Structure 1
Amino acid sequence: MTRGIDYGNLMHEAMRGLIRSVMESVAQNGLPGAHHFFITVDTGHPDMQMADWLHDRYPEEITLVVQNWFDNLTVDEDGFAITLNFGNSPEPLYIPFDAISTFVDPSVEFGLRFELQSEDDDDDEDEDGFDEAPMMEDAPSEEKSGEVVSLDKFRK
């Protein structure tokens, strides 16, 4: 029996394609207007590249802010490289698209969130570990201490 159409993976692929297109545009033209991004990343992803001290500080996830200062932004099929400033220390990073759990542009109240499921709850889970129904939101709904910023602070 055929499994059917895998809408979950197709949606994830489309959402990552959207992030890729946005990052390619920013690499070519810079950030337009008030646009900026909060990108939460799984730092344990095997293809994630970051300084050891940064990984030690954020062993599970980190929320990156791409706003006023960034450099060396390049995008490939699987992710993007960028240099960001951490306490006046420029650090190069490589972020695979499939390591991104949230992508938010608060200037236009746009956000994507990729729902990961635990291994115990695998009834609707496909082989890459993602829920079959990805969630799209206006902004992250949960605030985690020191990691995800409530966007209400930035709204006018």
Structure 2
Amino acid sequence: MAQEPPAQDQMQYEAMAQEALRGVVKAALKKAAAPGGLPGAHHFYITFKTDAAGVSGPTDLLAKYPDEMTIVLQHQYWDLAPGETFFSVTLKFGGQPKRLSVPYAAVTRFYDPSVQFLLQFEAPPSATASAPAAPPAPAEQAAGAEGDEAAKIVSLDQFRKK
């Protein structure tokens, strides 16, 4: 008896899952932007593709990080404005305040080391080149193994077809 080939995912569940998890990033940034800022020891490491469509900031800064950049939202950030499709924030680089705007679709990693929470996303296509992107670092390397508690890692790999 011949086996039927697996059905194609015309619902695009992978893309829907990525979009839903990016909603977690948006919700976390909205909490951080509320009066009082980040609660407790929470802080964020946000990695994004600097060459993704919609990323904007000072050209000298983006040129220094032509592929990917990680920013930290902890003590010194200003004017955090999480929108529906992107967020903007002012950070100091070399002592100078610089404003960045990043679409949520450009985010490749979101990490809160205070609770060992990590989300990883597939890299968006480059806005300037069609060269393949380097594979993201394994979640275990990005999260580290701080303290006795194991890192809480949410990865979409477990849901992918093999």
Q: Same fold (TM over 0.5)?
A: yes
Structure 2: state its 5+ residue gaps.
1-6, 126-131, 133-137, 149-162
Q: Of the candidates 79, 83, 86, which is equivalent to residue 79 of structure 1? A: 86
Shift of 1:86: 1.1
Give the equivalent residue in structure 1 for 2:122: 115
TM-score when normalising by structure 1? 0.74
Structure 1: state its 5+ residue gaps.
119-128, 130-138, 144-149
AA of the residue aligned to 1:61? E
Distance 2:14 2:56 in 1: 27
SS at match of 1:23: helix
Give the equivalent residue in structure 1 for 2:21: 15
**1:71-130 Cα shifts (integer Å, max 9, x gaps):** 011111111010011121111000100000000000000010013499xxxxxxxxxx9x
AA of the residue aligned to 2:140? S
Asked if the contact 2:107/2:123 (under 8 Å) is kept, the reply is: no
Q: What percent identity do the matched residue pairs reach? A: 34
Distance 1:90 1:140 in 2: 31
Larger radius of gyration: 2
The ranges of structure 1 where at least 4 consecutive aligned residues each deviate by more than 6 angstroms after the TM superposition are none
TM-score when normalising by structure 2? 0.72
SS at match of 1:10: helix
SS at match of 1:49: coil
Q: 1:64 and 2:71 equivalent?
A: yes
Distance 2:77 2:42 in 1: 13
Distance 1:109 1:90, change over 3 A: same
Asked if the contact 1:40/1:103 (under 8 Å) is kept, the reply is: yes
Following superposition of structure 1 onto structure 2, how do residues 1-156 of structure 1 map, counting pairs within 5 Å? 3-29=9-35, 30-116=37-123, 140-142=139-141, 151-152=144-145, 155=147
Shift of 1:10: 1.1
CA RMSD of aligned residues (A): 2.7
